[in-house]
């Protein structure tokens, strides 16, 4: 699943490529991937792109919107005067579209945006713009690290006191946008072991975790996201976070940059988890 920095990177790329283009029509090739009716968008101009956690929302000038979630294997491929691919990298990035993975084709004046999804977990949803904030998927999202106060964050952690802290951070109703990569990096920055129970995290540690999340994710956004085998920039080039900034993620067996201890990998909250056994208490 993409994390907030990757989706933010995709959003910024799309703004440069399709903003103020008119929506012509949609071809739905997989009904499972669509909710709502694209008829409401026909002839409307795209006037804004927003991100709610890991979901993209396209706003049109007739008070209709389109929400897109790439989930695990989704792609957005634009073919117009320029071509770009964003999302799960496959040979579809360089193939002519549509492919056997194309679920929806969104035609704008000047090009087509292909929504591909191998595993069919992603979706496109058409809804009224005023209903976006009340949508069940978005309404349940917690605030992002930049918009959350320490008191609120700590209280949310206490409600999941029996969960390990990593599982709590992956819960989008606790804090929005963190996934596997940046949760590991955040907990390292804060010096907290990912296996600790959320109820054992002190308010002071919660503050460090929140500060770490802001720092780690801002670095990732500035770097264009991670280079994990799932998400690349909107222009098809890869982000540089892992090479430039990653402290623990995918560094199993290597020396900790902070103390020299060997980075370990464990399975925590059902996910491969990297941490320093000395720096993270």
| Residue 139 a catalytic site member | no
| Residue 2 a catalytic site member | yes
Q: Distance between terminal CA atoms of the chain?
A: 28
| Residue 54 a catalytic site member | yes
| Residue 91 a catalytic site member | no
Which is catalytic among the residues 5, 6, 8, 54?
54
CB 5, CB 229: distance < 8 Å: no
The span from the CA of 229 to the CA of 158, in Å, is 34
Widest CA span in the chain: 59
CB 89, CB 78: distance < 8 Å: no
Which is catalytic among the residues 3, 6, 144, 205?
3
Which is catalytic among the residues 2, 5, 145, 194?
2
Sheet (strand 123-128) strand order: 34-35, 123-128, 64-69, 55-60, 46-52
Which is catalytic among the residues 195, 271, 277, 278?
271
Active-site residues, by number, are: 2-3, 54, 271
């Amino acid at each position: 699943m993409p994390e907030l920095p990757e989706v933010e990177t995709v959003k910024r790329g799309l703004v440069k490529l399709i903003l103020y283009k008119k929506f012509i029509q949609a071809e739905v090739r997989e009904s499972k991937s669509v909710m709502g009716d694209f008829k409401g968008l026909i002839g409307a101009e795209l006037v804004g792109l927003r991100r709610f956690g890991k979901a993209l929302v396209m706003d049109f000038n007739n008070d209709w919107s389109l929400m897109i979630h790439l989930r695990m294997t989704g792609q957005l491929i634009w073919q117009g005067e320029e071509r770009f691919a964003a999302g799960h990298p496959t040979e579809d990035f360089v193939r002519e579209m549509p492919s056997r993975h194309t679920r929806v084709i969104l035609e704008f004046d000047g090009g087509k945006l292909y929504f591909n999804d191998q595993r069919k977990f992603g979706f496109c949803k058409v809804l009224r713009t005023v209903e976006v904030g009340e949508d069940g998927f978005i309404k349940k999202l917690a605030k992002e690290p930049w918009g959350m106060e320490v008191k609120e964050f700590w209280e949310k952690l206490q409600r999941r006191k029996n969960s390990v802290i990593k599982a709590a951070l992956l819960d989008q109703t606790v804090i929005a946008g963190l996934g596997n990569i940046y949760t590991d990096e955040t907990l390292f920055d804060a010096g907290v072991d990912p296996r600790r129970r959320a109820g054992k995290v002190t308010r002071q540690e919660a503050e460090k975790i929140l500060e770490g999340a802001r720092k780690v994710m801002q670095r990732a956004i500035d770097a264009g996201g991670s280079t994990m085998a799932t998400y690349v920039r909107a222009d098809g080039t890869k982000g540089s976070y892992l090479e430039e900034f990653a402290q623990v993620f995918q560094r199993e067996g290597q020396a900790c940059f902070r103390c020299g201890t060997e980075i370990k990998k464990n399975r925590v909250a059902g996910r491969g988890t990297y941490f320093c056994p000395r720096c993270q208490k």
